[in-house]
């Protein structure tokens, strides 16, 4: 036997659709998949994780002291790698890594 829902619980349940909740907020995902002819959603998820890892590495490098020679070497290596992969268009500013998205 199930208890009767309280008023605020009923209001919350009206706002949530448990059958379609996965498909509600993926408009950007669908646009990118159509634009770049991605066949499966898993491909988009992999690219999204890759972008997250790149941003994470860039953030950790940016936490280092600007005068540290390891930081300048790491920045240069990361920029060269991303440029050679075709993800960024120029090797100059390290701050452009923050703007990398799945579309890149």
70 confidence band (pLDDT: 50, 70, 90)? very high
Taking residues 37-48, report their average pLDDT.
87
Please name which of 96, 63, 102, 65 lies closest in space to residue 78, comparing C-alpha atoms.
Answer: 96
Among the ranges given (40-44, 57-61, 72-76), the one the predictor scored with the smallest mean pLDDT: 40-44
CA 88/CA 80 separation, integer angstroms: 9
49 confidence band (pLDDT: 50, 70, 90)? very high
Q: Is the pLDDT of residue 6 over 60?
A: yes
Which tens digit of pLDDT belongs to each residue from 9-41? Answer: 888 877 776 666 566 567 788 888 888 888 888
HSE on the CB side for 87, CA within 13 Å? 18
Helix (H, G, I), strand (E, B) or coil at 99: helix
End-to-end, the C-alpha distance of the chain in Å comes to 54
**What is the distance, to the nearest Å, from the Cα of residue 63 to the centroid of all Cα atoms in its chain?**
20
């Amino acid at each position: 036997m199930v208890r009767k829902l309280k008023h605020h619980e009923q209001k919350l349940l009206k706002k949530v659709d448990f059958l379609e909740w996965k498909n509600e907020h993926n408009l950007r995902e669908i646009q990118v998949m159509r634009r770049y002819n991605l066949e499966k959603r898993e491909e988009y998820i992999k690219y999204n994780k890759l972008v997250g890892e790149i941003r994470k590495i860039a953030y950790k490098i940016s936490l280092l002291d600007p005068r540290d020679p390891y930081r300048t070497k790491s920045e240069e290596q990361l920029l060269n790698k991303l440029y050679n992969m075709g993800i960024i268009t120029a090797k100059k500013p390290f701050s452009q890594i923050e703007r990398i998205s799945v579309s890149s």
